[in-house]
Structure 1
Amino acid sequence: MTRDHLLINRGVWDADAPNWVSVGKRLWSLETPVWGNWGIPDDGLNLLPADMTDMDAIELGCGTGYVSGWMTRRGARVTAVDISTEQLATARHFAAEQGADIAFIEGNAEATGLPDASFDFAISEYGASIWCPPDKWLREAWRLLRPGGRLVFLGNHPLSLICSPLDGSPADRTLHRPYRGMWGADWTEVEYEPTGVCFNLTLSSWMDLFADIGFTVRKYQELYAPEWVSGTRAAIPADWAKDYPVEQVWHLGKQK
């Protein structure tokens, strides 16, 4: 991958920001988190600690900032980073509306410039977790965490990528690209709904990278679409996502 993914993805999200305002407003209003493109209820997923009192937390790629909002309600001191000026404008609006004290930073989640060992908890839901090269943003997350700190991130399951046609049309039940050597996909010039440059790895490559950086795997979850949903979201049909894992969640720890 040689294209400037930062420039491309910033442009995509600045242009698309108006389309996420109503979604952001709805998610900011929720008392109980829901996750991913299908709004999967948190029941038992536990992506966030139940009590975050006195914790320093950071969201890497915050978008409209609702996850940061949920963390402030649980007592955390929250910093939220995003590369998109327009997405951050929406996030700041909702934070002010909700009275949430969040430090928003416009910047690159691969190199935040924040001090070492500043946070107890880090999270990325469809932020840095898919729009930044894993080797870069995960090393930055490790650097930012204190010993004993935790990182949780949610993104596309590798299976959803290899079942996605090369023209960008919705995923089906055919393998369209190799699993071996997977790095992600460039969606900028596809025929259907072009977006940006996303990143992913095979499961063994994720595990190798975690070990190389120094993360331990606390838990791994594969997520499916709820039975009651229908239609297509982010080029994934509901019927596909009910039979195959559409998203994955990694729970990682930085050793003391």
Structure 2
Amino acid sequence: MDRDHVTVNRDVWDADADNWVAEGERLWSAEAPSWGNWGESEDRLQMLPADMRGKDAIELGCGTGYVAAWMARRGARVTAIDVSPRQLATARRLAAAHGAEITFIEGNAEVTGLPDGAFDFAISEYGAAIWCPPGDWLREAWRLLRPGGRLVFLGNHPFVLITTPENGAPCDRTLHRPYRGMWGADWTTVEIEPSGIAFNLTHADWWALFAEIGFRVAGYHEIYAPDWAEDTRGSVPADWARDFPVEQVWKLEKPG
């Protein structure tokens, strides 16, 4: 893939910003964090440390900033970066409305320009986790973390990519792309709901990359649709996602 994914994805998210305002407002006002397409509970996934007082945290690809808000409420000093100025405009407005002290930065999560070892905790729910090449943004996260720091990220499960038809239709029970050599997909020219350039890897390649960088895998979750779900979210039908994992969570540690 040799296209300028940063510019492509910035333009996609700027153009789509208005469609995420209501969801951002809902999640900023939520009493407890929930994750992914069908709102998996924080109690089960434990994406965030329960007590973040005194910790420096960063969200890599923050969108409307609700994850940053959840960390701030747990006591963290939060920085959040995103490539889309229009998404950040929503995030800043909601931070002001909720009285949240968060440092928002317009920039590329692959090259943040922030100091080495500045953070205890880093997170990406989608964001950099799918819109940036894994080898680039994971190395940047490693650089930003202090020894003993943790990185948690959530994104699409590889099964979603290989079962999505070439025209961008909702994923089905046929393999449409090879698993071997997976890098992601360019969704800009598909017929159905075109978007940006997204990235993913096989499980073996994720593990190999973590080891190459130096991360230790502390936990992993596969997320399915709940039994009550009947709709399609993020181009994934609920009946498919009850049988196959729709999302994955990696929990990594930088050794002290």
Kindly provide the amino acid, as one letter, of the partner of residue 226 in structure 2: P
C-alpha distance after superposition, 1:92-132 (max 9, x if no partner): 01000000000000000000000000000000001000000
Tell me the residue number matched to 2:206.
Answer: 206
Q: Which residue of 1 aligns with 2:217?
A: 217
How many residues are treated as equivalent by the alignment? Answer: 256
The yes-or-no answer on 1:180 pairing with 2:180 is yes
Indicate the SS of the match to 2:45: coil
Aligned to 2:92: 92
What is aligned with 2:22? Answer: 22
SS at match of 1:44: helix
Which digits, 9 at most, give the CA deviation of each residue in 1:218-252, with x for residues without a partner? 00100011112221111100111111000000000
What residue in structure 2 maps to residue 62 of structure 1?
62
- Structure 1 SS opposite 2:161: helix
Provide the TM-score with structure 1 as the length reference: 0.99
- AA at the equivalent of 2:167: D
Provide the rounded CA distance (Å) in 2 between the counterparts of 1:126 and 1:215: 19
**TM-score scaled by length of structure 2:** 0.99
Q: What is the Cα deviation at residue 41 of structure 1?
A: 1.9
User: 2:73 maps to which residue?
Assistant: 73
- CA distance in 2 between partners of 1:239 and 1:42 (Å): 23
5 Å-filtered alignment, 1:43-58, equals 43-58=43-58
Question: What does the per-residue CA deviation read over 1:57-94, in whole Å, with 9 as the maximum and x for residues that have no partner?
Answer: 00000000000000000000000000000000000010
Corresponding residue for residue 82 of structure 2: 82
In structure 2, what is the Cα distance between the partners aligned to 1:61 and 1:23?
Answer: 16
Between the two proteins, what is the percent identity of the paired residues? 70
User: Match of 1:43, SS?
Assistant: helix
3-state SS of paired residue (1:243): coil
Instruction: Measure the CA separation in 1 of the matches of 2:225 and 2:77.
Output: 32
Give the aligned residue type for 2:9.
Answer: N
Task: Give the partner amino acid of 1:248.
Answer: Q
What 5-or-longer segments of structure 1 have no aligned partner?
none
